[in-house]
Amino acid sequence: MIGRLVHLAAALLFAAVFAMPAAVALAEDSSQPDAYTPVEEFSKQLDAFKKSIPELNKKIEDSAASVDRWTDVNKARKEIEELRSIVGAALGAVSDNGPVSTLGTQALNHARGKLRALEQDTRFRTEEKEFLLEQWRKLREETERATEELGAARREFAELLRTLQSNEDFIDELMQVRQAQKALEVIQRLTKDIRDASDQLKKLIGAIKPPGV
């Protein structure tokens, strides 16, 4: 079960790490003032997010390994809580109202707006205009691809979080079973004690003989 988590995490990290650089590179190559806009901010955010991924991956692997080792449900639950916190933070970054996704939407809107504006622009010669349009089309496509990949990462993180919380719920149920077993043991011990006391009492009563019998 935990192995599956790690596999899932690795898959999404792979997607997150290798899908982003294209948009980042495009934005970094551009030296025009107009490029320094939501598009560049988005690429910076993606870059920062991408850099945080190896650390996240290591934390997930370490925690998953320790969960595998432990049979103590309390420790396992604590580890899963910590994993949920890590995955939750990552999901927060790429959630639809999170910082990276919001910038992605802004960047995409900006690129689309620039394309529309350039198509109407009469300041440039045809070849210049075509060159600029081509650059913005590339940028728009790369940004679209990056936001698509963010969407995939979002789905993976959400699924990972769901798996973790169902595992935690399962552990909670196990703990309840264990507690119920302990309660049952107490009741059984109490019943036995009462039976023993009753036997003792019966013996005592049996031993009492009225005078003269």
Partner 1 sequence: MRSLAAAGVALALAGCQPSTDVGYVEIKTVPVTTNVSQPTIYLDTIKVEPIRKGSAVLTQRVGTTKLATDGAGGQLTLCEIVVKKNRITTVTVTVLERPPRCQCRNTASGSRTCVS
Q: Closest approach of Cβ 174 to partner 1, in Å?
A: 19
**Helices 21-29, 2-19: crossing angle, 10 deg rounding:** 20
For residue 209, is it left (φ>0), alpha (ψ between -120 and 50) or beta? Answer: beta
Question: Which class for 26: exposed (0-12), middle (13-18), buried (19 or more C-beta within 10 A)?
Answer: buried
Q: Which residue has the tokens 């075509």?
A: 130
Q: Closest approach of Cβ 117 to partner 1, in Å?
A: 20
**Chain residues that interact with partner 1, rule: CB under 8 A:** 36, 40-41, 44-45, 48-49, 52, 81, 84-85, 87-89, 91-93, 95-100, 103, 105, 151, 154-155, 157-158, 161-162, 165
* Cβ-proximal residues to 157 (8 Å cutoff; 6+ apart), any chain: 12, 87, 90, 91, 94
Among residues 130 and 159, whose Cβ is nearest to partner 1? 159
Q: Closest approach of Cβ 151 to partner 1, in Å?
A: 7
Among residues 48 and 180, whose Cβ is nearest to partner 1? 48
Among residues 98 and 136, whose Cβ is nearest to partner 1? 98
Q: Cβ(95)–Cβ(101) under 8 Å?
A: yes
> Distances from the Cα of 210 to the Cαs of 198, 205, 206, 207, 213, in angstroms?
21, 11, 11, 10, 6
Q: Closest approach of Cβ 153 to partner 1, in Å?
A: 10
Residue 121, classed as helix, strand or coil, is coil
Q: Closest approach of Cβ 39 to partner 1, in Å?
A: 11
Q: Closest approach of Cβ 162 to partner 1, in Å?
A: 6
Among residues 27 and 118, whose Cβ is nearest to partner 1? 27
Other CB atoms within a 10 A radius of the CB of residue 65 amount to 14
Among residues 41 and 68, whose Cβ is nearest to partner 1? 41
Among residues 81 and 199, whose Cβ is nearest to partner 1? 81
